[in-house]
Amino acid sequence: MIYFTADIHFCDELSMKEDNRPFKSAKQYDKAIIKDFNKTAKKGDTIYVVGDMLDCNGKDSYNWLKGLKLIKKIKADIVLIVGNNEQRVIDFFFGGDFEKFKMCCKHYGIKNVHTKLDVKGTNHTFHLVHQIKDGDKRKLNLFGHTHLCSGLYHPYGLCISTDLNHFRLYTEPEIEAYLVRKTEYWQCDDNTNYINPFLKEVDGKVVNINANRKKYQKYLSDSQFKTKI
């Protein structure tokens, strides 16, 4: 089976405060995440972590290495999509060499590392990318990076940050159920359209109606971005 999550931030005390995560410490949080991983996903299953599994706040930050050392405690295979924190690790500690970083991750037990990845599920192919600005508007994107601030639902895919799922893994059936709700309810709800500036549709095209987010207008204007299910 396959599972999804994003924005884990192992060994990051700062994230407990900034993201208001309901744990007394990063250590308690790490134990809870690994416990859920092992309860939900078994050996032979694959967990896709869509960026920021590790944490790196600067050149003197070694939380990322502490996080890597936790991987051996996880039963399922981990496939990591590079997030902005992993990119900092690559830049600061591997001289910008992605392949060296990938080799290091594999040494600590990660099955594979990608910058982006298409994963074929039972009914859909998911495009995994950490930041939606780097997404593919022709595909169904599963992304992270924004944690709680952007919410789960978007016309271009779903944000699968761990904060939005009570720090549990997303199963494929859960993702499928969200996509059904997206089509049958959320896209038809005036309240959703009101609170989400990206949902305005004009002449069959998704357009941005929020002046503060003009940089996304071109990105969202292609009607193909609304994946049909």
Q: What is the pLDDT of residues 82-137, one digit of tens each?
A: 999 999 999 999 999 999 999 999 999 999 999 999 999 898 899 999 998 898 88
Tell me if 220 is assigned to some domain: no
DSSP 104: H
**Rounded Cα gap, residues 124 and 126, in angstroms:** 6
pLDDT tens, 173-225? 999 888 887 777 766 666 665 555 544 444 444 444 443 344 444 444 443 34
Tell me if 110 is assigned to some domain: yes
Tell me if 74 is assigned to some domain: yes
Tell me if 34 is assigned to some domain: yes
pLDDT tens, 131-157? 988 988 888 999 999 888 777 777 778
Tell me if 83 is assigned to some domain: yes
Number of domains in the chain: 1
Position 212 scores a pLDDT of 38
- CA-to-CA separations, 113 to 55, 99, 128, 168, 199, in angstroms, rounded: 16, 9, 12, 21, 33
Please provide residue 2's backbone torsions phi and psi, each rounded to the nearest 5 degrees: -120, 145
pLDDT tens, 9-63? 999 998 898 888 999 999 999 999 999 999 999 999 999 999 999 999 888 889 9
**Rounded Cα gap, residues 162 and 26, in angstroms:** 14
Tell me if 198 is assigned to some domain: no
Position 154 scores a pLDDT of 73
Tell me if 186 is assigned to some domain: no
- Residue 90: CATH number of its domain: 3.60.21.10
77-81 and 157-159 strand pairing: unpaired
Position 188 scores a pLDDT of 67
Structural domain containing residue 112: 2-172
Position 196 scores a pLDDT of 57
Block residue for tokens 């939900």: 40
Tell me if 206 is assigned to some domain: no
Position 181 scores a pLDDT of 79
Residue 171 amino acid letter = T
206 beta partners: 201
